[in-house]
Homo-oligomer: A and B are copies of this chain.
Amino acid sequence: MTQVKRVDVLIIGAGPAGLALANWFRNSPITVLLIDKKPGPTQRGAAEGLKSITNEIFDSYGIGPQIAAESWRVEEIAFWGQKKKDGKSGGGIEREQVIQDKVEELGKFRETTLQQARVEYHMQRNLLNHENINIQYNTRPIEVKINESMSLLHGIDDVYPVEVRLVKKTQVQSEAVASNSLESSTTPPTVNGNTPEEVKVEEERVLAKYIIGCDGAHSWLRKQLDVQFEGDLTDSVFGVVDLVPKSNFPDLRRSCYLGASTGTILMMPRANKEVRLYVPVESGTSFSDPKDLTLERIIAAARDIFSPYTLEIGSVSWWSAYRVGQRVGSHFSRHNERAFLVGDAVHTHSPKAGQGMNTSIQDAYNLGWKLRLVLQKKSPFNNPEAARRLLATYESERRPVAQDLISFDRGYLKLFVGQPSSQFDTEFLRGMKFTTGLSIRYPAPSCVVQLPRDIKTSADLGPSLVKADLVPGKRLPDFQAVYQADAVTCWIHRRMQATGQFRVLVFAGDIATHQNLSDNIQELGRYLGDESNGMGRLTAGRARALVEVLMIHSADRAKVELLDLPEVFRPWSDEEGYNYWRVMADAESAHEGHGRVYERLEIDPKKGRTLVVRPDGYIGAVLAVDDFDGLGAYFKGLGML
Contacts and interface: CB of A to CB of B under 8 A. Distances in A.
A98 interface: yes
A246 B570 CA distance: 13
A506 to B, nearest CB: 21
Contact of A75 (B98, B102, B590): B590
A486 B269 contact: yes
Contacts of A254: 485-487
Interface string A423-458: 000000000000000000000000000000000000
B253 A486 contact: yes
Interface in A545-596: 558, 561-563, 574-578, 580, 589-591, 593
Contact of A576 (B73, B273, B576): B273
Contacts of A246: 574, 576-577
Interface in A464-491: 482-483, 485-488
B253 A101 contact: no
8 contacts: A73-B488, A75-B488, A76-B487, A100-B487, A248-B578, A254-B485, A314-B576, A314-B577
A273 B580 CA distance: 9
A485 B253 contact: yes
Contacts of A65: 65, 69
- Number of identical protomers: 2
Given A252-B580, A253-B580, A314-B575, 10 more contacts: A73-B488, A75-B486, A75-B591, A76-B486, A76-B487, A244-B576, A246-B576, A250-B562, A253-B486, A254-B486
A76 B485 CA distance: 10
Contacts of A485: 252-254
A209 interface: no
Contacts of A574: 246
A525 interface: no
A29 interface: no
Contacts of A75: 482, 486-488, 589-591
Contacts of A26: none
Nearest to A574: B246
B100 A558 contact: no
A349 interface: no
B590 A101 contact: yes
Interface in A52-84: 65, 69, 73, 75-76
A190 to B, nearest CB: 42
Contacts of A399: none
A380 interface: no
A110 interface: yes
Q: Which of A561, A563, A576, A577 has the most CB of B within 10 A?
A: A577
A98 B590 contact: no
A247 interface: yes
Interface residues of A, number: 44
Contacts of A69: 65
Contacts of A76: 486-487
A245 interface: yes
A483 B314 CA distance: 23
A578 B253 CA distance: 11
A372 to B, nearest CB: 25
Contacts of A312: 577
Interface centre among A483, A488, A563 (most CB of B within 10 A): A488
Interface of A: 65, 69, 73, 75-76, 98, 100-102, 110, 244-248, 250, 252-254, 269, 273, 312, 314-315, 482-483, 485-488, 558, 561-563, 574-578, 580, 589-591, 593
Nearest to A101: B590
A302 to B, nearest CB: 15
A563 B248 contact: yes
Contacts of A245: 577
A66 to B, nearest CB: 8
A256 to B, nearest CB: 11
A108 to B, nearest CB: 9
A589 B100 CA distance: 9
Q: Which of A69, A312, A486, A558 has most chain B Cβ within 10 Å?
A: A486
Contacts of A486: 73, 75-76, 253-254, 269
A75 B483 CA distance: 10
Contact of A591 (B102, B250, B315): B102
B577 A273 contact: yes
Given A590-B102, A591-B102, A591-B110, A247 B488 contact: no
Contacts of A244: 575-577
The 10 closest A-B pairs by CB, nearest first: A253-B486, A246-B577, A75-B487, A100-B590, A253-B485, A102-B590, A76-B487, A65-B69, A314-B576, A253-B580
A101 B589 CA distance: 11
A248 B567 CA distance: 13
Contacts of A488: 73, 75
A248 B572 CA distance: 10
Nearest to A483: B253
Contacts of A314: 575-577
Given A65-B65, A273-B576, A486-B75, A250 B102 contact: no
A268 to B, nearest CB: 11
A248 B248 CA distance: 65
Nearest to A64: B69
Contacts of A591: 75, 102, 110
Nearest to A274: B576
Nearest to A577: B246
Contacts of A590: 75, 100-102
Nearest to A108: B591
B102 A563 contact: no
Nearest to A482: B75
A164 to B, nearest CB: 39
B561 A250 contact: yes
A254 B167 CA distance: 57
